[in-house]
Amino acid sequence: MALNKTDYNRKSVADDINSLKLDESSMDDMFNTDSLLDLLDEVSSQEDELKKAVNSNTNSFVVKKAEEKTEKRAEKKEKEEEEWLSSLLDDLDKVEAEEKKKSELFDINNYPREIYSNAQLSEIQKGIDHNVDIRIYADVKYTGRQMREIRYGLERNLDVTHYANVLFRERQMQQIRLGLQQGLDVSSYARLLFSATDMKEKRRALFMKEKFGKLDELSYNYNDIDTGIKIYVEKGLMEAGIIIKKKLPESYTKGDLKKMMDAYDLTFGFAADELPDNLSNLPLNVKIPVLHGRKPVKGKDGYYEFFFVESEKKPEIKEDGSVDYFAPTEYKKINRGDVVAEYHPANPGEKGLTVTGLPLEGLQGKDLEPLDSMDLIQSRDKLKYLSKKEGFMSIKDGKIQIMDFLQFAGDVTHLDGDISFDGNIQVNGNVLSDANISCSGDLFIKGFVENANLTAEGNIIISGGVNADGECSIISGGAITSAFFENAKVESGGNIETGYSLNSEITCRGILKTKGKKSLLCGGRIIAERGIETGTIGSKGKAKTYVEVGAVDDKDTDEYYALYRQKEKLDSDEGKTHLVMETLIQKMGALKGRQDPNYIKLQAVMAQIKSQKEDVARQLKELDYRRTKRNDLCIEVFRNLYENTTVCVNGNTLLVREDRKRSTVRTNGRQIEIS
C-alpha cells in the first residue's frame, strides 16, 4: 500500500530511533565512562546523525513530488498543443474554404449572363478590378445603377450600410452617398419615405447649416478610380478641376468628363469652351479648371432721390459753338404737398452658385435711415416725403429743412454760374462782377454789388450799395432799397429808396426817395412814376442830370384789363379746387381725407390761388391810385436843385438854369412850376 508524506516521515523517524536503541550492557558501559562530557558529545553526535537522516528522507520525497507535477504539466501542455493544432487546422480549413468561395465570388464567370445584365456585370467587374468587397452589392436584386452607387461608396471608404438597400432608388442612394462624402450625418434624411428631391434639399440645407460659416476654408480631393483622374474642389467651392495622372483615351469626351464630375456632385459651371475638343491632349499632373462657380453680388444700397435740389452745373454749348462754362444753376421753389424726396429701398443682390449647385444668397444692400425732418410728411407706403410748407429745401448734416429762402453764406461770383431760384434769395456776402442772380421772390444782399446782373420778381435790398462801372443791371418787380447806386442801371416795379445815386439810370413805377447825409441824385437819368423826394439834384460842378416823374408808359389801361381777366380766372380756379377738396372729404371722411397726399396738394394749390388773387388785387389798387393821383405828382428837393438839371413832370420839361434852394417842382398841365 502506498504511504502518504506523513506516514512516510513517521516510519523513517521510528526506524532511526530503533537503530539507535541501546541494550542494558551498553548503558552500563556508558555510565561507567570516566567522563560525562564524552557521553554528552556522543549523544549530540547521534542527534546530528538522526537529523541528517530525517532531512535526507524529506528531500527525496519533495523531489519525487516535483517530478510528478512536472510530468503532469507536460502531459497537460501536450494535450493543449494537440487541441490548438487541431483548432488551427480547422481554421485553416475554414479559411481555405472561404478563399475558395471568395475566389468563386470574385470570378466574373460565376455570374451567369442569363441572370445578370450587362450593366450589373460591368459594375461587378469594376468592383473586382478595384479590389472592393463586391459581395455587398453583387446581388441580382440591385440594378446596375444601384450597384454603381454602392461601388462608389466602397471605393471612397464610406459606410454604405446607410443606403445598401434594394428599396432605395439609385438617385436616393446618390444623395445619401454625397452626404457621406461631404462628412454629413445622413441619418436625418437616409429614409425611404423621402424622395431623391427631398433628400437633395435636406442634404444641402444640412450642408449649409454645418459648413456655410467655413465655406471659404472648404476644399476636397477625390480620386476617380475608373479614369485615374484626381478631382480637386477649392476656393470655397467656387472652382473645381482635374489633375490627369495618365493619358486619357482618344474616346474620352467632354460629355464623359461632365458625367464624372456630376457623380461627385460637381454640377454647376462646366466650362466646356475652355477645354479642347480632344481631351487626350490635356497635360498630365497639372491643375486644369473644369467648373467655375458664380459669386453672389451685393445688392444696390438704398438711396434717396431728391426733386428740389440745385441742378448740376454742366457746360452748355452755345449757338455759335462756343462753350458756356457758367450755365444757369436753377433752384426750384417747393409748394406745400410737393414730393420732395422718394426713397428707393436696397436690393437683395444677385444670388451666386457654388460648383456643387448650392445657392448663395446675394448680399443685401444697406438701407438708409428715414429722413429726419419736421418739415416733411411720409406717404402711406413710407417711401415718399411731402413738404408741409412752401420754401426751399436745405440739406445739412443729413437733416432736411424747408427754408423760406435760398441762402448763400459768402460771396457770389461768376464761378457760381447763373443762379436762378423760384423763391427768395439771401446773400450774406457780396455779389461780385459778372455774377448773375435771378429769383421769383425777394433778393436780399448784405454786402455790396459790383458789375453784376440782378433780377427779382419781388423786392431787392442791397445793404452795402452798388459800386459799378456801367455794366451793372438791377431789375425788380417790387421795391428796391440800396445804400447807394453808382454807375448802375436800375428798374423797379415799386418804390426805390437809396442814400444817393451817381451817374445811374433809374426807372421806377413808384416813388424814388433818397435819405441820409448825402441824399443826392447826381448825373444819369432818373424816372419815377409817382414822384421823387431827395435832398439834392445835380452838383455844384453842373453835372448833367435828368429827373422825371409821371407816367412811365401808356400801358395802364391794357394792364388794368389784363389784371381783371386774371382775377376772373383765379376766382373760377378757386371754386373748382374747393369742389374737388369737398368731394375727397365726402369719400374718405374728414380725418382721413385731410391726411391724404392729394388733399394736401390741393390745399397748396388753394393757398397759391389766394396768394395770386391778393397780388392781383394789390396791382389793381395801385393802378387806380396812379390814375387818380397823377395830377398831384411832384419832385421834392429839400436842399439844393443845381443848374444844368432837367426836370420833367407828366411830359412837361424844364432845364434849370440857376441853382435853387429847397424846391418843389410841379406842372399846371401846360408848364413846369418851381416853388
Transcribe 466-510 into DSSP letters.
EEEEEEEEEEESS-EEES-EEEEEEEESS-EEESEEEEEEEEESS
Residue 288 shares a structural domain with residue 154: yes
Residue 258 shares a structural domain with residue 162: yes
User: Mean pLDDT over residues 48-73, rounded?
Assistant: 67
Report yes or no on 19 lying in a domain. Answer: no
- Please determine, for residue 35, whether its predicted confidence score (pLDDT) is greater than 70: no
Report pLDDT for 312: 42
Report yes or no on 34 lying in a domain. Answer: no
Residue type, 75: E
Rounded Cα distance, 56 and 373, in Å: 125
Report yes or no on 563 lying in a domain. Answer: yes
> pLDDT for 196-228, tens place per residue?
999 999 998 888 888 766 666 677 788 888 888
Report yes or no on 314 lying in a domain. Answer: yes
CA dihedral 254, 256, 261, 263 (to 10 degrees): 160
Report pLDDT for 343: 92
Report yes or no on 6 lying in a domain. Answer: no
Domain boundary among 101, 125, 156: 101
Cβ atoms within 10 Å, residue 219: 12
Largest CA distance in the chain: 216
Report pLDDT for 147: 94
- Please determine, for residue 31, whether its predicted confidence score (pLDDT) is greater than 60: no
In this structure, of 313-317, 370-374, 638-642, the range with the lowest mean pLDDT score is 313-317
Residue 284 shares a structural domain with residue 309: no
- What is the crossing angle of helices 118-129 and 144-155, to 10°? 10
Q: Classify residue 21 by its DSSP letter.
A: -
More confident residue, 402 or 531: 531
Domain range spanning residue 182? 141-292
Q: Classify residue 422 by its DSSP letter.
A: S
Q: Are 136 and 147 in contact (CB under 8 A)?
A: no
Residue 149 shares a structural domain with residue 282: yes
Report pLDDT for 309: 60
Residue 226 shares a structural domain with residue 338: no
Residue 163 shares a structural domain with residue 255: yes
Residue 276 shares a structural domain with residue 308: no
- pLDDT range class, residue 120, cuts 50, 70, 90: very high
Report yes or no on 660 lying in a domain. Answer: no
Phi, psi of 665 (to 5 degrees): -105, 125
User: Mean pLDDT over residues 594-608, rounded?
Assistant: 85
Phi, psi of 266 (to 5 degrees): -105, 90
> pLDDT for 378-437, tens place per residue?
888 889 999 888 877 776 666 777 777 778 888 998 888 788 887 788 899 999 999 999
- pLDDT range class, residue 551, cuts 50, 70, 90: low
> pLDDT for 628-668, tens place per residue?
556 678 889 999 999 999 888 887 888 888 988 898 888 77
Rounded Cα distance, 6 and 20, in Å: 22
Domain count, the chain: 4
Residue 327 shares a structural domain with residue 243: no
Report pLDDT for 47: 66
Residue 329 shares a structural domain with residue 356: yes
Least Cα distance to 477 among 307, 618, 669 occurs for 618
Residue 315 shares a structural domain with residue 280: no
Rounded Cα distance, 568 and 270, in Å: 76
Residue 316 shares a structural domain with residue 189: no
